[in-house]
């Protein structure tokens, strides 16, 4: 059997080369390096057996209907799968897979630490200051930041990425680690001396709060006005998890009113928009104490090639009659 596969956007070549080398694959890739328009997506999936989608593609009932009853797999090129209607896929017996990989975990953990440095040492502000030609002489009071050494790091969610952040900060900077999760992480406690806290206690004690939770009903707006008011006025919030975990309107108000010292965001509540209401004149872009990156925490050559290869291997396993290694359950 020849499997017709549609890839919704060009991705790194590791996985594509695996698929091209298989004689049972008829591969079609959307030519433009941009988000595929909805109308084009509905047209191009017609008659396909497998869709290799990105997190930016909404794969719902309409897409599955457009593809046809022969659609048997959706291979998501992402760790998350919020973009796929899993219930609808299950009704149609469509296999869904994702691309978790240790390389991705490492990249996101590194990016989180980079954001912490950017906040605490005011790197973005300093860069803008230099580019504007404002530096005329060394000044002992110029752009004063704060050290990481000796500070308290609060981690909400201690999966592989959260734990990766902890180890980097504990091993490299001897930060005091406290964490909150649905269950105790005994291994983390043993290797880093991390202390379990309720989320309320964690927010009150931490100098840095970093979010590493999936997007669920229970984590939507996990951080809002009430939680931000619990934090120290000198504390920083970092989000490399999922945008809607943070109530951005509440965050903007907290930053404006100096409830917390700053924030760094790689994901956004109404992504790709920075503000859910485009006409809102108060948004994160207008604040000097905020660092923003465009959902690039996993944007390293190593991570993206690993994701591509994982997507390819998931598809090949399915073609060979096996359960994909990263089938979503």
Residue 8's nearest CA partner among 25, 27, 23, 26 is 27
* Displacement of CA 42 from its chain's centroid (Å): 26
Residue 312 structure tokens = 């390819």
Asked if residue 108 and residue 10 are part of one domain, the reply reads: no
With 0-12 CB in 10 A as exposed, 13-18 as middle and 19+ as buried, what is 123? middle
Give CA separation, 240 vs 108, 167, 249, 292, in Å. 7, 17, 18, 11
Asked if residue 237 and residue 128 are part of one domain, the reply reads: yes
Question: Which residue reads 């109308």 in tokens?
Answer: 39
Residues in the chain where the model's pLDDT stays below 70: 281
The parent domain of residue 14 ranges over 3-98+302-319
Length, in residues, of the chain? 329
Residue 174 in any domain: the answer is yes
H helical segments located in 208-300: 225-230, 248-256
Q: What is the pLDDT of residue 277?
A: 83
Asked if residue 238 and residue 168 are part of one domain, the reply reads: yes
Q: What is the pLDDT of residue 329?
A: 83
Asked if residue 210 and residue 115 are part of one domain, the reply reads: yes
Residue 42's nearest CA partner among 64, 14, 71 is 64
Q: Collapsing DSSP states into helix, strand and coil, what is residue 134? A: coil
Asked if residue 225 and residue 94 are part of one domain, the reply reads: no
Concatenating the DSSP letter of every residue in 155-194 gives EE--SHHHHHHHHHHHHHH--EEEEE-SS--HHHHHHH--
d(CA 32, CA 160): 34
Residue 324 in any domain: the answer is no
Tens-digit pLDDT profile for residues 94-113: 999 999 999 999 999 999 99
When the pLDDT of each residue in the chain is averaged and rounded to a whole number, the result is: 96
Asked if residue 196 and residue 88 are part of one domain, the reply reads: no
What CATH number is associated with residue 223?
3.40.50.720
d(CA 152, CA 26): 53
Residue 86 in any domain: the answer is yes
Residue 208 structure tokens = 């840095």
| Widest CA span in the chain | 71
Q: Collapsing DSSP states into helix, strand and coil, what is residue 6? A: strand
Asked if residue 191 and residue 124 are part of one domain, the reply reads: yes
The residues that are catalytic are 242, 271, 295
Residue 329 in any domain: the answer is no
Q: What is the pLDDT of residue 7?
A: 98
Q: Collapsing DSSP states into helix, strand and coil, what is residue 290? A: strand
Q: What is the pLDDT of residue 280?
A: 78
> How many domains, in total, are found in the chain?
2
Q: What is the pLDDT of residue 67?
A: 98
Q: What is the pLDDT of residue 92?
A: 97
Asked if residue 173 and residue 36 are part of one domain, the reply reads: no
Give the H/E segment covering residue 154. Answer: strand 152-156
């Amino acid at each position: 059997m020849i499997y017709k596969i549609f890839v919704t956007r060009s991705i790194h070549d590791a996985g594509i080369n695996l698929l091209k080398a298989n004689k049972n694959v008829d591969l079609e890739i959307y030519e433009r390096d941009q988000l595929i328009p909805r109308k084009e997506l509905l047209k191009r999936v017609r008659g396909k057996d497998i869709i290799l989608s990105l997190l930016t593609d909404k794969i719902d009932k309409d897409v599955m209907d457009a593809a046809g009853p022969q659609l048997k797999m959706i291979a998501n090129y992402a760790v998350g799968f919020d973009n796929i209607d899993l219930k609808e896929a299950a009704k149609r017996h469509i296999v869904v897979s994702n691309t978790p990989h240790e390389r991705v975990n490492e990249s996101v953990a590194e990016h989180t630490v980079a954001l912490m440095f950017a906040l605490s040492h005011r790197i973005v502000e300093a860069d803008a200051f230099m580019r504007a030609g404002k530096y005329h002489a060394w000044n002992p009071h110029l752009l004063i930041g704060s050290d990481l050494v000796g500070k308290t790091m609060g981690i909400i969610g201690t999966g592989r990425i959260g734990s990766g952040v902890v180890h980097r900060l504990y091993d490299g900077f001897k930060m005091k680690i406290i964490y909150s999760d649905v269950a105790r992480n005994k291994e983390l406690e043993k290797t880093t001396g991390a202390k379990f806290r309720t989320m309320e206690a964690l927010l009150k004690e931490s100098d840095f709060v970093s979010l590493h939770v999936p997007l669920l009903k229970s984590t939507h707006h996990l951080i809002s006005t009430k939680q931000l008011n619990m934090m120290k006025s000198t504390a920083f919030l970092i989000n490399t998890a999922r945008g809607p975990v943070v109530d951005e309107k509440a965050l903007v108000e907290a930053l404006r009113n100096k409830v917390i010292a700053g924030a760094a965001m790689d994901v956004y509540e109404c992504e790709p928009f920075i503000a859910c209401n485009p006409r809102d004149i108060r948004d994160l872009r207008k604040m000097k104490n905020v660092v923003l990156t465009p959902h690039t925490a996993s944007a390293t050559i190593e991570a993206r090639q690993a994701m591509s290869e994982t997507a390819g291997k998931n598809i090949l396993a399915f073609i060979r009659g096996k359960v994909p290694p990263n089938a979503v359950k």
